[in-house]
Amino acid sequence: MDYRVLHLEALEGQEDNIAEYYQQQVEVLEGFTEMDALAERGFIPGMSKEERDKLARSETFAIRLSNVANMVLFVAKVYASIRSGSLAIIASTLDSLLDLLSGFILWFTAFSMQTPNPYQYPIGKKRMQPLGILVFASVMATLGLQIILESIRTLIYTDNAFNLTKEQERWVVGIMLSVTLVKFLLMIYCRTFTNEIIKAYAQDHFFDVITNVIGLIAALLANYVDDWMDPVGAIILALYTIRTWSMTVLENVNSLVGKSAAPEYLQKLTYLCWNHHEAVRHIDTVRAYTFGSHYFVEVDIVLPADMQLQEAHDIGESLQEKLELLPEIERAFVHLDYEYSHKPEHAQSHS
């Protein structure tokens, strides 16, 4: 073993760690600068209203284009599945069905969240989206499992040869390649946006490119090499689909159970609270936890004991308004106190 090589590798590892540390520091400073601008101006600096409206129209167009393309391409892949009878292409079509239905669920939940009912839903409907995705993912995982079972049954019990006629092969190859090309172009287009929803569409388009290619290759290998390659390809795609949606389930479960925000985000909130007003003597608590796709924030600040109620109220209310200007925050609660040596008001109960 050459110790000089080990020394160089250790130095490279240290350089990577140092670069990562400085990158984190830059991000922290950028977050503090954003909070300074919010504290001084009362709003987050950014694009003008015209620029935001133009960007919103572009984002809406990208989402609608993706949804329409998903519907048309799903119909095309259903036809390819019927023409070929390939389990691998059927599994790829199932993945397209996932994208189509998930887009519908996102649209439906977004529409529902935009129609508040303060009497029946006093804290809003932000949890409808992750709940809808959880139900949907459970159904899709069941369908994926059904494809795996059917593929295993085909491998064990079916002796029929998998043969495509030349006409069937032309149709299947033409449809699958066309679908893959359209998905690839949509992926490139959606990646030009920074909106998280459109970035999710771009990721879905990328996954579709992968599943389409695997499904087509599996069908062609089964046609020219051996029959077992088609059900094996279907099993691979079904496992991939189940894994992808299982990760989605875990992410949405975390958003429902009230997972804490990252320490870096809590630092930003603490910095904003401390610099909110010169009368703030101490910050007792800063909490931010998931509530659907957004955060609920709880802040305890300490003000002078002899401060008038009206002045203290105005300080707390203006801090609440500042916090709720942040796009990630759904609701903010500001508690005012005159000392911080007491026990927390909302201690957790243990059964």
Q: Does the structure show a pLDDT above 60 at 48?
A: no
Residue 351 has a pLDDT of 44
Residue with the bigger pLDDT between 208 and 322: it is 322
Q: Does the structure show a pLDDT above 60 at 250?
A: yes
Q: Is 285 helix (H, G, I), strand (E, B) or coil?
A: strand
Instruction: Give the pLDDT mean for 255-281.
Output: 87
Instruction: Give the pLDDT mean for 13-22.
Output: 59
Mean pLDDT over the full length of the chain: 76
Which range, of 98-107, 134-143, 155-164, averages the lowest pLDDT? 155-164
Q: Does the structure show a pLDDT above 90 at 344?
A: no
pLDDT band with cut points at 50, 70 and 90 for residue 41: low
Q: Does the structure show a pLDDT above 90 at 333?
A: yes
Residue 287 has a pLDDT of 92
Which domains, from first to last, does the chain contain? 49-256 (1.20.1510), 263-337 (3.30.70.1350)
Query: pTM score, two decimals?
Result: 0.60
276 touches 318 (CB < 8 A): yes
Strand ranges across the sheet with 294-302: 282-291, 294-302, 329-337
User: For 18-32, how does the pLDDT look when each residue is reduced to its tens digit (9 = 90+)?
Assistant: 666 556 555 655 555
276 touches 322 (CB < 8 A): yes
Instruction: Give the pLDDT mean for 20-47.
Output: 57
Q: Does the structure show a pLDDT above 90 at 150?
A: no
Instruction: Give the pLDDT mean for 284-302.
Output: 88
Buried b (16+ CB within 10 A) or exposed e, 102-112: bbebbeebeee
Residue with the bigger pLDDT between 82 and 351: it is 82
Instruction: Give the pLDDT mean for 303-312.
Output: 92
Separation between Cα atoms, residue 111 and residue 36, nearest integer Å: 34
**Can you read off the two tokens belonging to residue 255?**
């958003």
Instruction: Give the pLDDT mean for 135-144.
Output: 71
